[in-house]
Amino acid sequence: MASERPHSRPRRTATATNVEPERLQKLLSRAGAGSRREVEGWIEEGRVTVNGHVAEPGQKVTVSDRIELDGRRLETASAAETVRRVLMYNKPEGEVTTRNDPEGRPTVFDSLPKLKEHRWIAIGRLDINTTGLMLFTTDGELANRLMHPSRQIDREYAVRVFGEVEDAMLQRMHDGVLLEDGVARFSDITSAGGKGINRWFHVTLFEGRNREVRRLWESQGVQVSRLKRVRYGPAFMPSRLSVGKWEELDQRSVDALSKAVDLPSITLPKKTPGEAAVHERKQRKQPSRPVKKGRGSKWQVSGTKAPADRKPARKR
């Protein structure tokens, strides 16, 4: 009889339900409307209303409230449940990190797979001339924690420098340099090859201020001729991921990112047949843009792992 059968374990679901009131910017960020910083700006400008009234900073809402931006209702149903998916993208030069560019330039979102019920949220930014690792997620809370300075998530870059580099310059950048927006420093600097006035370095920092890597080097009188992000926290860019391509992270990799910012694990949702077909086509397709290498020299930093004698920088 059915009543005599042993009870099976409850299945883990691919979502976490959120029913308690929470701050407006947090809910809209999780729904994919924009980053928390963007939403806070909209609220300060008086562009957001809740149930017909102008929203206030710090106001708490639920998914049942009617939330509008410039008179247009925002869809927040997806924020009722947290779906945590993460994409890794190898950004090429020439793409901007914005959803819509007024100048009509290609954006990093143009190449990503489309979602029906959620939106991809960029975890950090890269300027138009910087290439390499970008992460995108459907979970606004994960994105916010990975970007917030208080979490001290380190980012590693491979940088080619044009100019004479002296040990004293490296020490100054490690100790801290006063830039126009405050003191900036590299937590780690390691030589990665090259000769003369064209040398490669791996550098690590815990912030993501605008053009911070380039400005730090420029403060020492040298120029950055090439810049590529190769790591974001525990996520390394695999050498198999060619320029302009993306791949979705598996459960283990997503859990590592979640653990880094003290978030509990959420089981990944199963892909629909259509999504699975897109992934299969991507894997069969040959790379469309080969990585360019300098004549007569090896690009020693095209991979994503740090040299064997190095470990990721420790938090200060």
Q: Which of 65, 101, 127, 309 is catalytic?
A: 127
Q: Buried (b) or exposed (e) across 11-36, using 16+ Cβ within 10 A? A: eeeeebebeeebbbbbbbbbbbbbbb
**Residue 175 bears catalytic tag:** no
Please state, as a whole number, how many other Cβ atoms lie within 10 Å of the Cβ of residue 40. 19
Query: How far apart are alpha carbons 50 and 56 in whole angstroms?
Result: 9
Cβ-contact 260, 233 below 8 angstroms: yes
Cα radius of gyration rounded to whole Å, the chain: 22
Phi, then psi, of 16 in degrees rounded to 5? -120, 125
Q: Which helix (H) or strand (E) holds 184?
A: strand 182-184
CA torsion 111-257-141-89 (nearest 10°) is: -10
Q: Which residues are catalytic?
A: 127
